[in-house]
A = this chain, B = another copy of it.
Amino acid sequence: MSHAKHSATLLMSCPDRKGLVAAIANFLMTYNANIMHADQHQDVAEQLFLMRVEWSLDGFTLPMDDFAKAFAPIAAEHNMTWKVSLSSRKPRMAIFVSRYEHCLADLLHRWRIGELDCEIPLIISNHEDCRRLAEFNGIPFHVIPVSRDNKAEAEAQAWHLMDEAGIDLIVLARYMQVLSRDFVTRYPSRIINIHHSFLPAFDGAKPYHRAFARGVKLIGATSHYVTEVLDDGPIIEQEVTRISHRDDVEDLIQKGRDLEKVVLSRAVRWHLDDRILSYSNKTVIFD
């Protein structure tokens, strides 16, 4: 379900009113678009209309360089927030990791076999542990140690690397550091984190230990966009697995790894495929 070849994808939202589907369909038809996927959602309570539409550029008569100008009147009329992506331009993704390599290994494997349609210009870590894995995959690996004292400096160093690399998306693959408010606001809806619990249960530290102590019968993992409030951003995906009294904390950690990998990779793929719109601290995942 990734992008079709030579396609464009429009993600938009605006106040709900009559005629929005027709307005967009007619605009695209004017230029002979072949719509390949369209999905829309209305949030009745918030009076919001949201849409994703993907069309083939084969035979599309509007040069994409002129798209913004041509679409502007419709967007203005309906007060739209919108963004268009081209399948020919791969998003550029940075991965942050600490010592646990399972999420990183999973993302890199999926990337290598074509599940994740992006460039990965760099991996940033506060530890050396994952260097060999990164280099096996041919990706520059930068170690930026983080301590209580150098946090601002370390983040500045990361920004510098990311600015140079033109990063669109940041994935925290079990990166065990809390990012500063400055960092987070710099990349709105562009930092994806994996939290190893079924949020909002067990937000914060040591969720597997706390799940064990509480005696739950299922454990979970949650991928979400990072906001200024820890573990509180818009949830993208969640999954759970069954545990029993026979499982100790180590078993939870092992079973949890499988959840984390799946839940994080789905979020990353959906983001790369322009399937996610977030608003009101929630997400819409378009089919």
Contacts and interface: CB of A to CB of B under 8 A. Distances in A.
Contact of A285 (B29, B35, B101, B245): B245
Contacts of A245: 41, 43, 282-285
B248 A258 contact: no
A184 interface: no
Interface string A261-278: 010000000000000000
A245 to B, nearest CB: 4
Nearest to A132: B136
Contacts of A40: 38
Interface stretch (A66-74, A84-92, A158-166, A193-201): A193-201
A216 interface: yes
Q: Number of copies of this chain in the oligomer?
A: 4
B215 A282 contact: yes
Contacts of A218: 198, 220, 238-240
A235 B214 CA distance: 8
A235 B215 contact: yes
A198 B235 CA distance: 16
B217 A200 contact: no
B237 A217 contact: yes
A216 B238 contact: yes
Interface in A94-114: 101-102, 105-106, 109, 113
A47 interface: no
B262 A258 contact: yes
A22 interface: yes
Nearest to A135: B136
A81 to B, nearest CB: 17
A244 interface: yes
B33 A29 contact: no
Given A244-B285, A245-B283, 4 more contacts: A18-B33, A37-B42, A105-B109, A199-B214
19 contacts: A1-B246, A1-B251, A22-B26, A25-B26, A38-B40, A39-B39, A41-B245, A102-B113, A132-B136, A200-B216, A214-B282, A215-B234, A215-B281, A216-B235, A217-B238, A218-B220, A244-B285, A246-B287, A258-B262
